[in-house]
A = this chain, B = another copy of it.
């Protein structure tokens, strides 16, 4: 918490040398970037251009900037995740939900050397998702369906990361308002239901889902937004999520 005064440097350097015998790994962040489109949970993959795993599909990610670790301490893990996400998708910090998942550190998970990866998952609103693939630079980038378009094997241990991400959002769906990060700013009941169905992988009774939704409205979690959605047959009421306590 308190940075070292300049006169303690020799002291700290002594520490550092002693600790160095444990070795220091490279540290990366890897991102499971998810969205829901056409009632289907989609994952962002990038094609690796260089070995290891050249040509294979992988999660976006990269090395955490640590600096010299002494005068230059580098960036936080959250900053690294946001930076990689912005580099890969062009999306700003406040347009995505980003949460840490799990840290993977098997000694042989990267053939080059010892690499510890802090995995995150990101939720992208479907109205922003198209910009991701359009705006990205040279590298090959694709949204794939998690359910039935998944490549045989992703690079490194990225399959495990994806599994962990899907498991996490399934678990959180009923206890945290993460579904609202997967719909446009204003949305219909059916659109929110489609998100739930895509994540859980099973159909919901429209009527029962509606009642649960009504409870959310009673509790002030969502509120009516002006206008109607006239995309389908009968126009549907649109709602917006009421962000709590500065989000």
**In the complex, which range does the number of interface residues on chain A fall in?**
35 or more
A1-43 toward B: CB 8 Å interface, digit per residue (1/0)? 1111000000010011001101111110000000000000000
A106 at the interface (CB under 8 A from B): yes
| Bound: A76/B106 CA distance, A | 5
Q: How many copies make up the complex? A: 2
Q: Kindly state the separation between the CA atoms of A183 and B109 in the bound complex, as whole angstroms.
A: 36
Could you say which of A67-75, A125-133, A142-150, A197-205 contacts chain B? A67-75
**Per a CB cutoff under 8 Å, which of B27, B103, B106, B156 touches A25?**
B27
Give residues of chain A (48-88) contacting chain B, Cβ–Cβ below 8 Å.
Answer: 63-70, 72-77
Q: In the complex, what residues of B have CB within 8 A of residue A108's CB?
A: 1-3, 73
Minimum Cβ distance to chain B for residue A21 (Å) = 9
Indicate if the CB atoms of B22 and A64 lie closer than 8 Å.
yes
Decide: A69 and B4 in contact? CB cutoff 8 A: no
Bound CA span A171–B172, Å: 11
Q: Are B105 and A24 interface neighbours, CB within 8 A?
A: no
**What's the nearest-Cβ distance from chain B to residue A52, in Å?**
9
A113 lies within 8 A of B70 (CB)? yes
Provided the pairs A103-B103, A105-B118 are in contact, do residues A69 and B111 lie with their beta carbons within 8 angstroms? no
| Cα separation A111 to B69 with both chains bound (whole Å) | 10
Min CB–CB distance A209 → chain B (angstroms):
22
Task: Give complex CA distance A63, B15 in Å.
Answer: 13
Tell me, yes or no, whether A185 is within 8 Å of chain B by CB: no
Q: Which B residues are in CB contact (< 8 Å) with A102? A: 100
Indicate which residue in B20, B74, B112 contacts A107 across the interface (CB closer than 8 Å): B74
Tell whether A116 is near chain B: CB-to-CB under 8 Å.
yes
Q: Is the CB of B1 within 8 A of A111?
A: yes
Known: A69-B23, A76-B107. A112 touches B64 (CB 8 A): no
Q: List 24 A-B contacts (CB under 8 A).
A: A1-B111, A2-B111, A3-B111, A15-B112, A19-B26, A19-B112, A19-B113, A22-B63, A23-B72, A23-B74, A24-B69, A64-B105, A67-B114, A69-B113, A70-B113, A73-B114, A74-B107, A75-B107, A77-B103, A77-B116, A100-B102, A103-B118, A105-B118, A116-B116
Which residues of A are at the interface with B, using a C-beta cutoff of 8 A? 1-4, 12, 15-16, 19-20, 22-27, 63-70, 72-77, 100, 102-109, 111-114, 116, 118, 156-157, 171, 175
